[in-house]
Amino acid sequence: MNPAAPAAGVPPHYLHMPHAGRGMAVGLFGGSFNPPHAGHALVAEIALRRLRLDQLWWIVTPGNPLKDNSGLAPLAGRLAASEAVKPGPRVKVTAFEAAHNVRYTADMVALVTARNPGVDFVWIMGADNLRDFHRWQRWREIAATVPIAVIDRPGATLSFLSSKMAKAFGHARVDEDDAPLLARMRPPAWTFIHGPRSSLSSTALRNAAKKS
């Protein structure tokens, strides 16, 4: 993908931030989705159900600052593929980050919360990302801005015990039984949600595609 034109070929409606009304609970689920797969859809479905969200924004990023983006598929294609696997109409696929030239999650979260007063947001991520969360730009700021829900992923179940984020914010961990209340809580607040897990990964799918 050409970094100078990350939104090339993207239908304009994807570049607008989804609408959420005051009082709504909205999950923010961001990633490269290169490609999106049923494992992502499962995380989104679990988050919608267990957190009792009104919406979940499936945020397809122009590129991950922590990864090599040389093999990144065009944004338009990743958006179309995300639409094909998303679990239902409450999931809003979007690429508004590209329109605002946002690279880091901390900046995206700040933008979203500033533009949507009265909406309760919660950051959604797979447990595999929790291990490296401390490497994210201004990760402590993210945790202090929105509650965080960590969804179990294969091979990462124990990451909530060993990660730097879990240790730094151990005092803010919320019991999984209280997950439906998380979006309404004042950050920092986070929980680890166990449940069905998919072994699919974008890396494995890309490698399989190369071999075929």
CATH number at residue 63: 3.40.50.620
Give this prediction's pTM.
0.89
Task: Express each pLDDT in 34-54 by its tens digit.
Answer: 999 999 999 999 999 999 999
Task: Express each pLDDT in 71-101 by its tens digit.
Answer: 899 999 999 999 999 999 999 999 999 999 9
* Average pLDDT taken over every residue of the chain: 88
Q: Which amino acid type is present at position 198?
A: S
**Cβ atoms of residues 59 and 29 within 8 Å:** yes
Report the chain's C-alpha Rg in angstroms: 16
| Mean pLDDT of the 172-181 span | 97
| Mean pLDDT of the 1-11 span | 66
Is residue 183 domain-resident?
Answer: yes
| Mean pLDDT of the 130-134 span | 90
Is residue 196 domain-resident?
Answer: yes
Domain count, the chain: 1
Round to whole Å and give the CA distance between 201 and 206: 9
**Cβ atoms of residues 135 and 66 within 8 Å:** yes
Domain that holds residue 179: 28-202
Only one residue has tokens 């990302």, namely 129
Q: Show the tokens assigned to 195.
A: 């449940």
Largest Cα separation within the chain, whole Å, is 49
Is residue 8 domain-resident?
Answer: no
Is residue 208 domain-resident?
Answer: no
| Mean pLDDT of the 161-175 span | 92
Round to whole Å and give the CA distance between 84 and 37: 9
